[in-house]
Structure 1
């Protein structure tokens, strides 16, 4: 009960702060937001109106403070999902951030399978070797860590897509399986605050691709380039706030190395 009361008070104060700040901001920025033309006749430009939200969002002072207050309120309410312009940013149970995807229809999957199969058959007819590599999604298919009430629609779509390719005789390599075989912790291969792999994971993936292409098509390559010991690595601690972290606020997930 107290938790809900504190959350309501914080929400009220936050809305008051946003309202007062917005009033002052719009007073100074109204011409840029509405997009008045330069003739001085006061007619709004359509382009200016359409871009109004972007102008306000990009010029708003202390924008990240508002984002973090919003996230604080969501934490107080026990919410693990934030709507960012129609895309859902989700905080997994282990603290990692990811996008949440709605289920892809079978019709859409079958359409994509058909497109890729046609491309494969075309290349095959031209005697061009071709193989599909499936990149891992940030959510571990065997340990999704999703909040209650949500399902792993992304890996489900990948599974159905690869099943379709297999049925059509299209060769592929599922790097999700390789990732789980080579690393003890699936999630530690990704940034916490971004949807991208770590640089080390990308390096690993490039090696896997080279090995598979070499074995499948007898392609020769310099194996030295896949040796991690041939490179130096420098780590910047708490230096990188990824795109998901910028949408949710660093107090939701911290900052990546």
Structure 2
């Protein structure tokens, strides 16, 4: 009897497996046939290897498995029933308050001496062009003394890494603004300032950060910000709330039956604005022109119907289309304002979008997708202010490739 049960279970499993495979092939046959025909009929010179082609087909079939997201949601729900608090080998963990976090195992802060010395050299190069350089330390979602994990969950020491780096910046004489400190002074906490399902701060928090940045620059760094009191008043902005419309990157990793979609707001000016925006990533270029809501916001992302699990539906990237390699914003209403450069990751994107009102030209560079030389951008851009800004988790050499081979400089100094 036991043998029969095992046999029946095995047969049922394989029938289900092969049945799903047949459905998958049937659903994607036209695309597969077109791809196969195109591959073997194309010029063999420059053709990708058969191994790479098979890998590409495999990735395509996996991404288009019928009921893929239903299975994914079911898996997440089972993990929830099992009270599991980690996913993907502890890459994503759930805190005691239900928020999700990116983390990893480590024993202490990352070494930041190399990136600190590179920042120092960038500031020196910028000074020769007449630009002031500031490092903007955006906060990590993990808040010491507030965020708590179950025993055994890894801690990434991101805040300790940030503290160490800022201390080195001070030693090098590089000016900094620490948004973590500003949040503490206003009794703001990450539980309210960040999305539960994502590593980004909320759009409301980004707007607050924009107002703080504008005020500090004007009071301490001689920045002439146009109509600052009016531009930093939230009452002069529209706010649209999209309820249960946002599932962040960590939420997409665990499924919406493990966590829950949450609200996301879109904030844009009530007053008149007029911008020209140029964006480039690789060979892809795009331009937009008009008021803030037409030029700064990507409505195809905000209103897209690709589904909550599609990266193209990440509504945080409604602002400035997320992370193009380079983008330039021309403010037609402030032609005599300062020219600024943000060397950045995604956390600062909505902040920069709001901040562009106070500049004549705003340039954003994301070194992950920018194929040019950041050193050339600094040397040739004729900027008044250069802001380098990475969140604590991104304080790694990958994000600071600039000024790394300066002759006669010890990268381990500082």
The TM tier, using the shorter chain, reads 0.7 to 0.9
1:146 corresponds in structure 2 to: 149
Cα pair distance change 1:100/1:225, threshold 3 Å: same
Residue 219 (structure 1) aligned with residue 235 (structure 2): no
Q: 1:47, 1:180 → 2: CA distance?
A: 50
Task: Provide structure 1 residue ranges, at least 5 long, that are not aligned to the other structure.
Answer: 1-11
Q: Deviations over 1:41-98 (max 9, x none)?
A: xx97333223244312321222222222222232344321111xx8812222211122
Q: CA RMSD in A?
A: 3.1
Residue 249 of structure 1, CA deviation: 0.6
Taking structure 2 as the reference length, the TM-score comes to 0.51
Which residues in structure 2 correspond to 1:108-119 (within 5 Å)? 108-119=111-122
Q: 2:78 aligns with which of 73, 80, 85?
A: 73
Residue 205 (structure 1) aligned with residue 209 (structure 2): yes
Q: Which protein is richer in helix relative to its size?
A: 1
Which residues in structure 2 correspond to 1:48-67 (within 5 Å)? 48-67=53-72
Taking structure 1 as the reference length, the TM-score comes to 0.80
Query: In the alignment, is the contact (CA less than 8 A) between 1:90 and 1:100 conserved in 2?
Result: yes
2:132 corresponds in structure 1 to: 129
Q: 1:196, 1:107 → 2: CA distance?
A: 21
1:231 corresponds in structure 2 to: 237
Task: Provide structure 2 residue ranges, at least 5 long, that are not aligned to the other structure.
Answer: 1-9, 43-47, 264-414
2:176 corresponds in structure 1 to: 172
Residue 17 of structure 1, CA deviation: 9.8
Q: What's the secondary structure of 1:250's corresponding residue?
A: coil
Q: 2:163, 2:17 → 1: CA distance?
A: 47
Q: What's the secondary structure of 1:38's corresponding residue?
A: helix
Count of matched residue positions in the alignment of Structure 1 and Structure 2: 239
Q: What's the secondary structure of 2:205's corresponding residue?
A: helix
Q: Deviations over 1:182-239 (max 9, x none)?
A: 2443221111112221111111111111112112221121221110111121222212
Q: What's the secondary structure of 1:131's corresponding residue?
A: strand
